[in-house]
Amino acid sequence: MMRRELQRLAEKSPETLKFCRKVLDSERYGGNVILMVVDAAITSVGVNYFSVVVPRVLEFKRRFIDSGRIAGFGDLISCDDAELYSLWKNKRSWQVAKGVCSIISEYGEGATALRGWAKEAEVESWREWLDVKGAGINTFQYLRMMGGVDTVMPDRIVRRFVGRFIDHPNEPVEFIRFVESLSREVGFGSTEICWLSWLSSYDDEKIRRYSRILAKI
């Protein structure tokens, strides 16, 4: 049943499967990890992804990346909060963004750094790997996915989707391991299950519209 539903969603949005490949190859936003971090940081406060997060990230790209104002992790860490608040007035988001950059910068710059961190970071001890105020296990998992780890975020939408077809553990880490194992049975990667689960909460018109957005980011 779950395999059939995933196939149905994938047929409606083939862009999502291509997008998931881009996620795992650390090629989102043209491979710019700063934009991936900002995406994860704004997403962490629970706002609508397509109507709030993506427009803010693209505006951040225009103002700070394209202008050359921010080129690396250190630039974002040292960026004046007032400048950042002019784009997105949420202290927690920028605390998360700067904290993540500080941790990942220990592994170098760009995609190499994110992938190096993601390869080592273990979900069972996730708090040790992402000791950042305001960042939870969903942000940790989101960053790992963008760093090349085929895994899943244990958020309520994904839980609800999986729960339609099979009983699952409620504890986040156990749920993650459960879905990673389940993915081999249903023939879809954990990252694909995650993104297709999110799309399942929308009607066909929004799926088409949001799929076009995924193709651009």
Domain membership of residue 59 (yes or no) is yes
Do 176 and 133 share a structural domain? no
Summarised one tens digit per residue, pLDDT across range 93-147 is 999 999 999 999 999 999 999 999 999 999 999 999 999 999 999 999 999 999 9
Determine the structural domain holding residue 75 and report its residue range. Answer: 30-115+128-139
| Cβ contacts of 190 within 8 Å, gap of 6 or more | 150, 151, 152, 179, 180, 183
Instruction: Tell whether 59 and 132 lie within a shared domain.
Output: yes
Do 82 and 39 lie in a common domain? Answer: yes
Distance CA 97, CA 38 (A): 6
If one counts every other C-beta atom within 10 angstroms of the C-beta of residue 25, the result is 13
In a shared domain, residues 53 and 134: yes
Q: What is the mean pLDDT of the chain?
A: 96
On whether residue 120 sits in a domain, the answer given is: no
Query: Confidence band (pLDDT; 50, 70, 90) for 164?
Result: very high
Is residue 122 in some structural domain? no
pLDDT class for 182, splitting at 50, 70, 90? very high
Domain count, the chain: 2
Structure tokens at 5: 């539903």
Domain boundary residue, one of 107, 139, 171: 139
Average pLDDT over residues 19-36: 98
Task: Please tell me whether residues 77 and 173 are part of one structural domain.
Answer: no
Distance (Å, whole) CA 31 – CA 24: 11
Among candidate residues 139, 174, 196, the one where a domain is terminated: 139
Residue 158 structure tokens = 């994904």
Q: Predicted confidence band at 166 (pLDDT cuts at 50, 70, 90)? A: very high
Residue 173 burial class via C-beta count within 10 angstroms: exposed 0-12, middle 13-18, buried 19 and up: middle
Look at residues 135, 150, 59 and name the one whose alpha carbon lies nearest to residue 104.
Answer: 135
Q: Considering the entire predicted model, what is its pTM?
A: 0.96
